[in-house]
Amino acid sequence: MTKDQAERRISRRELLAMALLAVGLRVALYLIATSLTDTGFREYANAADGYQFIAYAQAWLGDASELAAHPNFRRLFPGTPALIALLVSLGVPVPAAVIFPSWLASGAVAPLSAIAFRDRRIGWAAATLIPSFVFHGSLVSTEALCLFFSVLGVVQAGRGHGAAGGLAAGLSFGLGGLCRPVAVFAMLGAVAQKMTTGHWRQAAMVTAAAGLTVAAGLAAMQWRFGDALMNVRRYQGLFEGGIFTVPFQSLITTPLTSPVPAWKLAFVGVHVLAVLGGSALVGRELLAARDTDRGFAWLAAVWLGSNTLYVLCIGDIWGFHDFPRFLIPALPPLFWAWRRILPTRPWVWLAVGALSLALALPPTKRRLLDPVVHGRPVGAAPAGSE
């Protein structure tokens, strides 16, 4: 066994430790933030866009009054509200149905990332980095669910070359796409990996299964709401000048045309440098990789490269202010790009997680102190959830 092969072997105990650390950070953030703001689990579930997801879930269950009263809620992607509605229909209390999927998905992403790229460092990084992932993964989070299904699809596509694996991977990518369409970038990476190794038939199965899954979700939206693309239409109205623009425009013009704190400028700047540097590293690896590693290089290059181009082209102020958030669905290939400088000792990652937790605390407190969280009636919860 070579040294590289030994490094890639990861025990089940270590995979479990990654998952527990990732979930533990979210639980700790919840406990600290609610203690400091004198709030509870229900307020935590309603924080950020939580109450909007609850209203959307209520509509899936048959009561669309909240959705009709607030048309802007229609901008949300359908997958997460549908999952909340499913859990509520099974008897899960509303706050748990809103928060637990994000926590569990964030926990699962860490070991799945390590398995997908056969590198423990990727798993530990996914468990503790970045502060934006700790923050968004602690509240209702389409990013966490999208990333979970994306990495699950990559793992399923990488296990053998049979029809079952291809269909399962496509189903996962499709479910991820219903949570956030950017799951398509992970799917394209997995398809590129398959094509590079000559498995064209399975690549086609992955693509077809993902497309059929998304089509089924859109058909359900058309049946229930009468408009399969209602979220796209709402988003078009939210972005002044269009959803997309030329690369870097939002990153350059937003700080020049609106007040931006120095810390925010530095925070976003670090993420921009990290993703551009990571993309360059992956490109270099793609040119130099051979044999098995070439498949991983293609996976990372297509997944990270396409998501990076997408993020750079997001318009209005959101392309700047939400830049770190938009990186979350492509964190595993970004970590793979920088893997050579990532630590391997778990105790180091405990310190990294503590730092991410500290940085995630202020925005979490702000979400809990938002008047909307306290002023909105609890009756927005789906019927029959109490």
Full domain range(s) for residue 278: 244-342
Residue 175 structure tokens: 């479910």
- Taken in order 237, 172, 292, 201, the sign of the CA dihedral is negative
Residue 381 lies in a domain: no
Instruction: Give, in degrees to the nearest 5, the angle at Cα 341 between 338 and 345.
Output: 120
Instruction: Identify whether 32 is preceded by a cis peptide bond (ω within 30 of 0).
Output: no
- Position 9 scores a pLDDT of 76
Give pLDDT tens digits along the chain (386 positions). 343 443 467 899 999 999 999 999 999 999 999 999 999 999 999 998 999 999 999 999 999 999 889 888 989 999 999 999 999 999 999 999 999 999 999 999 999 999 999 999 999 999 999 999 999 999 998 999 999 999 999 999 988 767 888 999 999 999 999 999 999 999 999 999 999 888 899 999 999 999 999 999 999 999 999 988 888 878 776 666 668 899 999 999 999 999 999 999 999 999 999 999 999 999 999 988 776 578 899 999 999 999 999 999 998 898 999 999 999 999 999 999 999 999 988 899 999 999 999 999 999 999 999 866 544 433 333 333 32
CA 115 to chain centre: 18
Is residue 47 within 8 A of residue 54, CB to CB? The reply is no
pLDDT at position 153 is: 97
- The pLDDT assigned to 164 comes to 84
Tokens at 253, concatenated: 């013009």
Check: CB of residue 81 under 8 Å from CB of residue 57.
yes
Tokens 């990270």: give the residue. Answer: 304
91, two tokens: 């008897």
pLDDT value at residue 199: 86
Three-state DSSP class for residue 345 = coil
Determine contact, residues 296/289, Cβ cutoff 8 Å.
yes
- Residue 289 in domain: yes
Quick one: pLDDT at residue 371?
67
Predicted pLDDT of residue 232: 80
Compute how many other C-beta atoms are within 10 angstroms of the C-beta atom of residue 379.
9
**CA atoms of 167 and 147, how far apart (whole Å):** 18
Note the residue count of the chain: 386
Structural domain includes residue 252? yes
Is residue 138 a part of any domain in this protein? Answer: no
291 within some domain = yes
Question: For position 289, what pLDDT does the model report?
Answer: 73
For residue 11, give both structure tokens. Answer: 């025990």
Q: Using the Cα atoms of residue 336, residue 341, residue 344 and residue 346 in order, give the sign of their dihedral.
A: negative
**For residues 224 and 59, is the Cβ–Cβ distance under 8 A?**
yes
Q: Which amino acid is residue 89, in one-letter code? A: S
251 CB burial (10 A radius; 0-12, 13-18, 19+): middle
Query: Does residue 326 sit within a domain?
Result: yes
Query: Nearest 5°: phi and psi at 244?
Result: -120, 155
Q: Taking the mean position of all CA atoms in its chain, how far away is CA 203? A: 23
Task: Say if 287 falls within a structural domain.
Answer: yes
Q: How many domains does the chain have?
A: 1
User: Global pTM?
Assistant: 0.92
Asked if the structure places residue 219 within a domain, the reply is no
